[in-house]
Structures are given as structure tokens and as C-alpha cells.
Structure 1
Amino acid sequence: MTERRVVITGIEVLAPGGAGTKDFWSLLTDGRTATRTITFFDPAPFRSQVAAEIDFDPEQHGLTPQEVRRMDRAAQFAVVAARGAVADSGLVFDNVHEHRTGVAIGSAVGATMSLDQEYRVVSDGGRLHEVDHTYAVPHLYDYLVPSSFAAEVAWAVGAQGPATVISTGCTSGIDSVGYAVELIREGSADVMVAGATDAPISPITMACFDAIKATSPRREQPETASRPFDATRNGFVLGEGTAVFVLEEMESARRRGAHVYAEIAGYATRSNAFHMTGLRPDGKEMAEAIRTALGEARLNPDDIDYINAHGSGTKQNDRHETAAFKDSLGEHAYRIPVSSIKSMVGHSLGAIGAIEIAACALAIEHNVVPPTANLHHPDPECDLDYVPLTAREHRTDAVLTVGSGFGGFQSAMVLTGPGRRP
């Protein structure tokens, strides 16, 4: 049986610093940061007061007033990005069997912003112990169930095949795309609209991360707060956003003359079964995911040209994945450019894995490695080539991207340029 290979033919990104793929790539290659003092609410009571927000007007992006009323901000992101990815792909959905077109959307925290807001309304700002449901919006149930995100995207693009939400914390973006790839490979779908979305910048989220001191308390010069692999880092910076892709079976995409950004050549996920927020310092489980993804891609460690790191900006994560790269890639790990785009767009939880896949596909497209912003004082324990401050022109035929999530989730994906794999 001929192997069904999967390629990316459409991309749309909504990320801090610009709502659109072009603005996103410009921000990354310029090495600019989009973190700022939180404007969505008064951050004064919180330990961490900075985030990477998107300046997003849903009606300017084509959503109707009814859609805006019905959907949480994260769902709005996903629908806008799905429509943009389909337009970018040039795929005419009338020519695709609707039951062979599916949706896979990742999200770590679902409709957090709307749930937070509606609780304040029905509890009268927390004053009422017994809330008054009559003040709630009629679509409150949709905010409760993250599956509504997949339903909204399916309606927006007319997909009647498999529709799923993947929620595996901060690896949700990689895992949703990986799941979509497997559906196409096994023949359950021909086209998948896949990606991830999260809009978590709300009081409840800030309070949760404050409690475990995971986010940066740095308030002066908020644009410098996210500092992956830097000796002065002190936590990640929360972000928001989405990236959605059109994935197709390779031969079908070639027959219709589609532009192919990259092939998704390998994917694997593992769990460390260790601790809810802690990581094993040796990075063994991430290393195993990397080796498995490389094996599926039929590539050797020496074939990897660039690594998009999880690079959250916490000491345990940066050291953990540095160890994993050395374990899985051997001496070649010291020769591969590595960078973290979270230094520029923050950590959008479940969405970031998909946003980073978009960065990888664009790195392949343009042969440019995005930099790690704010990396002025490298941690001696993180001794790889982390591409500080300035983007680097570099041939990127094969790219590795990884994700690490609370709960022990560790995922890896390998992307290659069109025609890179025989």
C-alpha cells in the first residue's frame, strides 16, 4: 500500500504583534517582542503583570455581531484563522467530499476569558454565593465545553468529517496537528483543517500561574520579560493566539498544483509520569519523543537543520530540553541552530505549539531561523546555539519542533521542505 504523506498547503496565524501570517513572520524575523503590561484588566493585584496581547477587532476580521456574541475570544481566533488558512490554500471545498474533510483544534484552557467574565456577571462581582443565572449570556454552555471550538470551525469551513478538540496542556497545538496527520495517513480523511487556539489572559489564569510562581514578575520594560535560555530569566510570559493549517494528502495537493509549505514527516508524544508541573532534569521522555519522530520521518539526527525549542523561559524547562536535545541528537545538537519564539510572542499555552509549527514552516519556506529575543546572558548550563537577538539566514530543509506541558506531556514533530524526503 502506498504511503499517504501529509503536507501543509494553507497557513493563517493570529499572534501578538500583528493579526496575520505576514505580520507574524515580520515580527519574528525582525526580532521584535510583543509583550506589554496587561491592558485587558487591572493587573495591579497580581505578581505577574505582563503578557503578549493581540490587538484584535473581530468585526474587522469578518465576524458578524452574532458570531462575536456567540463565541469566546479563542473561538473567534480559530474561526478567523481557519477561514484564512482555507483561502491561503486555494482549496475549493466544493471539489472535496465534505465527509472526507475534518477538523482538529487544540486548546489548553478553552473559553477561559468568557467563563471568567460571565462568573463575575452572574455572581455580581463575586458578591453572591448563589449566582443568578438570568444574567448569563444565552451561549454560556458553549463556553463550558471546549468541543464548541471544533464545531465552530467545522461550520465555518463546511467540514463534515471527524471534528475533535485535543487538550493536552501546552502540547495541544502539536498534538492536534499530529492527530490530524494520522487521520489523513490512515485514510480516514483527505483534508484536515487543524491547529490550536487559546485566549487565556484573564484574572483567573494570572492567579493560577502566580500561585506556582511560573510567570515572570518582571514589570519594568515588559518587552524584555520573556528571556528563554538567559541566566536572568525568571518565568514565562503569558500570551494568546492561534494558528490553523490546511493539511492535505501530498499527491492530491500536487495534482491540483497547490503551493506546499512543508511536509509533516514525523510526530510522537510521550508522558513523563512524574509530576504535575515538574520535569525530569535528564529530559529522557522528550528525547524519546524526538527519536521516535525522527524514525517516523526516516531521518537521522544529522539531517536536522533547525530546532524550534519549547523555550518557555523557566530554568527547569530550558535545562530539561537542552538535555533532551543532547540525548537524542548527540554531538550534532551542538551544531544545530536553536531558538524560542516565545521570547517574542509569549506563551499562549495550547495554541503555541501550532504557532510554532507555523514558524517552522515559514523558516523552511524562507531559509531563515528566527532569533531568541532578550538573550544577552546565556545560562552556562544551556550551552547550545540559541541564535540570540538576530535572525539568521540558514538552509532549513528539515526542522524539529518540540513542546512540553504540565502533566508531563512531551511532544515532537519533524517538518521537511517539499521534496526533501524521497
Structure 2
Amino acid sequence: MSTRRVVITGVGVLAPGGIGVKNFWSLLSEGRTATRRVSFFDPTPFRSQVAAEIDFDPELFGLSPQEIRRMDRSAQLAVVATAEAVADSGLDIQTLDPYRVGVALGSAVGATMGLDQEYRVVSDGGRQDLVDHQYAVPHLYNYLVPSSSAAEVAWKVGAQGPTTVVSTGCTSGIDAVGYAVEVIREGSAQVMITGATDAPISPITLACFDAIKATTPRNDDPEHASRPFDGTRNGFVLGEGSAIFVLEELDSARRRGAHIYAEIAGYTSRCNAFHMTGLRPDGLEMAEAISVALDQARINATDIDYINAHGSGTKQNDRHETAAFKLSLGEHARHVPVSSIKSMVGHSLGAIGSIEIAASVLAMAENVVPPTANLHTPDPECDLDYVPLTARDWPTDTVLTVGSGFGGFQSAMVLTRPERRPL
């Protein structure tokens, strides 16, 4: 087993209501919400008409007209977040062997916005059954192939090492980072640029989630529509975003005097093999993932200072998670603060796992636990400490962050300060 220890030395975030790490943390720590009525198109025909959108102008972040035309919005978000993460790390990637720098990018739905827009063009707004490809943009193939986003990130930093996309639904953002850790541990790369991106706010996405009634119909109050663990919750709020990290070996980071946000001490993924969208209420698979991640990290359940929950705001997920925390952490589950940032930034599908990792390491940096916004009427079956409404000053050295995705995927990651885990 490899003894290489992997740490986060750079963070970049584009999230609803908070472009850049500083603004993102300000939103979370103040308990503000970034959910609103969809503005990208007219949402009137849809059951759920709210979303968490980013006020993002790619030109302001230095993307050229050609890059903007070539890249779907999800790739644009990833490239901009990458620039912030690399700058934050203080690492001069150009001085490294490019074959020792890799990219692992998570995404659940790839270039949804680009594909949706181009289908409307080539089909004349859906009126033509036989579409005319001559009206499509020349880069349509890049929209179809999710790996194009990882390629864009690799081109941006000059990475020529292992480069891949991990697409496991809503756990993609955790799983991509977990994969990147393994690439460094096995010695295939010295540095990994990793994280996730998704920009799914499009008519086709709203229609898909409307069909299964997963998103909230609380259109009259968008600001308070996302209500994880609240007894009045009735579905999640769709979001978008990207969070990117620079990962490197602990010894290497220390030698160059890098700021270390956290060590990724444990990571595991499981599948319930049960139902494409359903969850068992007992939370066994998530509890298994948590237990194995703790074992990998050589950390006890009582060492967890904060749990960054999946907390989507659907009844089955919130109860499933609550059960999983009790199973895996025992009595300590009742003494550790738990919160869901989806209450503030929505659910950006494959990207949210990485955005939640970013929230976790910032909570460690500030010793502050972000709140669960809009939690006024707790569900009696969700009876843990979900940090309602207001952030909490809290010594935070070790964080458990989890994800749950369609298909039955359950992932868990343990983040800690390296000095808490001397091996």
C-alpha cells in the first residue's frame, strides 16, 4: 500500500452567489441564499421554475471570443476555476514535467446547455424531425463528448499526464477527486488538477426532473425554496458551478512551503444496486462508505468535527443520510454538527461534490461551520444537529463530506489537517 499522502494546496470556486473562493465563503458563512427564478430562459411551462444561477461573464475572466464559442458553459466554468486554483496554490506548473501533471474532472451531464441550444437550432425549435446539421456550430462534437472539458483544463495548464472525466451522477465531484488522489498515490502523477463542473440549467434538464418530481415546485418563494432536513421540504433546487483543486504529495508541498488546506485522508464509493432513483431508508450503503473512508484515514468516528451533508432537500435523501450517519458514527452522530450548503447554492449535480469539498476545507480554515439555510421546521425523522440558519464558530480539524447520486452511488471523503494524522 502506498504511503504517499495527498493534500489540497489550491482552491478555485465558481458557485451561485459567489464567484471566487472569497465570495463563495462569504455567502456560506453569512447564510445567504442564491436561489431565484430561472432567468436563462422562460421557465413558465415547467413545474419547477427556480434555480441557483451564476452571474458569470466569461469575457470578464479573460476567455477569448474563440474560447467562448468553442466551450460549453460547463467547460468555461471549469477553466476559470482552474486558473484561480493554480494561482492560489503558488505552484508554477510550467516548471514541472508536463507528463507528471494530470487532470481528473467530474461532470454528471457534460455540455447540457450547448447540446440543448444546438438541438433547438438544427431542429428549428423542435419543428423538424429530420435535423439539418449544417446549422450546427463546428464544435458540436466537443459538446457531445464529456472528455472535452477535461481536455480544455489540461490545455489551459499544459498538463500532459493522466487526464480523464469521471461521471457518476451526483457523486462525480467527490469521485473525481478520489480518483486523482489514487493517481498521485500510485506514482502516475506528481500534481493533479481535479474537481468538477456542471452547467445543467436548461429546458431539457428542468423537464427531466419535473417528470420524476425531484425538484421543488415552490416557485412563489425562490429564495427559500431549498430546504434540506426541513419538514416542509418538497424537492431540490437545480444549480450550476465548478470547484477545482490542486493536489500534490504532502512532502512535496511542505518542501516548497505551500499553504496546505487539508489532507485527503480517506475516500470510498459504494452502490446500493437497488433502484435508479430510489434509496433504502436504512442508509446502509452510505454508512458502509463512511466506515471504510474512516478506516482508510485511520481516524475514529469521534474525531469527526463536522459533516458536510449531501442534504439535497428530498425527503428520501435526507432521511437516508440521517440513518447513515447514525449507523456509521454511532452516538457521536448526535454530537457533531451537520449542514447542507445546497440550501444556499442549490444542487449542481456532478459539480456539487467538489463545491462541498471546497466548503469543507474553508470551514477548516476558518473554524466555522456553514449553516443549513431555510431550516425552520425540522423533520422529526431528521433529528441531528443540522446547524439551522446561522453559521457556527466551531473547532474544525477533520471533516466528513458525503454524496449520494442516482443509480445508487454513495461516496464519502475524510479531510483532515495533516498534523492530526501522523503516520
Tell me the distance in 2 between the aligned counterparts of 1:347 and 1:94. 35
Distance in 2, matches of 1:137 and 1:358, equals 34
**1:52-93 CA-partner distances (Å, limit 9, x unpaired):** 000000010110010000000000000111111101100011
1:371-390 per-residue CA deviation (whole Å, 9 max, x = no partner) reads 00000000000000000000
Matches within 5 A, 1:185-224: 185-224=185-224
- The 5 A counterparts of 1:330-341 are 330-341=330-341
Partner in structure 1 of residue 346 of structure 2: 346
Deviation at 1:417, TM superposition (A): 1.7
Q: Deviations over 1:109-140 (max 9, x none)?
A: 00000000000000000111111111100000
Secondary structure of 1:39 counterpart: coil
Are the equivalent residues in 2 in contact too, given 1:261–1:418 (CA < 8 A)?
no
Following the alignment from structure 2 to structure 1, what is the Cα–Cα distance between the partners of residues 320 and 289?
14
1:87 aligned residue? 87
Checking the alignment, whether the CA contact within 8 Å between 2:271 and 2:410 is kept in structure 1 is yes
- Aligned residue for 1:60, secondary structure, equals helix
- Take 2:93 and 2:304, find their aligned partners in 1: how far apart are those partners? 35
Provide the rounded CA distance (Å) in 2 between the counterparts of 1:342 and 1:18: 13
Q: How far 1:419 moved relative to its partner? A: 1.4
Structure 1 residue 60 and structure 2 residue 60: aligned? yes
Report if aligned partners of 1:291, 1:328 keep a CA contact under 8 Å in 2. yes
CA contact (8 A) 2:2 2:185 kept: no
Question: In the alignment, what sits opposite 1:301?
Answer: 301
**Pairs aligned (count):** 422
Partners of 2:18 and 2:9 lie apart in 1 by 22
- 2:45 equivalent to 1:17: no
Matches within 5 A, 1:135-150: 135-150=135-150
Pairs within 5 Å for 1:107-146: 107-146=107-146
| Counterpart residue type for residue 355 of structure 2 | I
CA change 1:2–1:323 in 2 (3 A) is closer
How far the C-alpha of 1:316 sits from its partner, in A, is: 0.1
Native 8 Å contact 1:282 1:323 kept in 2: yes
Quote the residue 1:360 is aligned against: 360
CA contact (8 A) 2:18 2:25 kept: no
Using the TM superposition, give the Cα deviation of residue 221 of structure 1 relative to its aligned residue in structure 2, in angstroms: 1.7
Residue 178 of structure 1 aligns with which residue? 178
Q: Which structure 2 segments of 5+ residues have no match?
A: none
Aligned residue number for residue 230 of structure 1: 230
Equivalent residue number for residue 285 of structure 2: 285
- Name the SS of the counterpart of 1:302 in structure 2: helix
Q: CA RMSD in A?
A: 0.7
**2:310 — aligned with what?**
310
Deviations 1:259-290 (A, max 9, x none): 00111000000000000000011000000000
Helix, strand or coil for the counterpart of 2:61?
A: coil
The residue identity in structure 2 corresponding to 1:365 is A
Partner of 2:47: 47
Kindly indicate whether residue 31 of structure 2 is the aligned counterpart of residue 31 of structure 1. yes
Find the counterpart in structure 1 of residue 257 from structure 2: 257
Instruction: Give the Cα–Cα distance (whole angstroms) in 1 for the partners of residues 197 and 228 of structure 2.
Output: 22
Partners of 1:363 and 1:306 in 2: CA distance: 9
Give secondary structure in 2 for the equivalent of 1:419.
helix
1:105 aligns with 2:105: yes
Alpha-carbon distance, 1:210 to partner: 0.1
SS of equivalent to 1:59: helix
Question: Where does residue 369 of structure 1 map in the other structure?
Answer: 369
Deviating above 2 A after TM superposition, structure 1's stretches of 4 or more consecutive aligned residues are none
TM-aligned CA deviation for residue 18 of structure 1: 2.2
Quote how far apart the aligned CAs of 1:418 are: 3.5
Q: Write the letter of the residue equivalent to 2:188.
A: S
Q: Report if the CA contact (8 A) 1:43-1:49 is conserved.
A: yes
2:60 counterpart SS class: coil
CA distance in structure 2 between the aligned counterparts of 1:258 and 1:19, rounded to whole angstroms? 23
**What's the offset of the Cα at 1:95?**
2.6
Shift of 1:2: 6.7
**Residue aligned with 1:407, SS:** coil
| 2:240 equivalent in structure 1 | 240
Partner residue in 2 for 1:417: 417
Task: Output the CA distance in 1 between the equivalents of 2:241 and 2:61.
Answer: 14
Give the aligned residue type for 1:204.
I
- Unaligned stretches of 5+ residues in structure 1: none
- Three-state SS of the structure 1 residue aligned to 2:194 is strand
Contact 2:53 / 2:239 at 8 angstroms: preserved in 1?
A: yes
- TM-score normalized by structure 1? 0.99
CA distance in 2, matches of 1:311, 1:280: 16
Q: Equivalent residue for 1:78?
A: 78
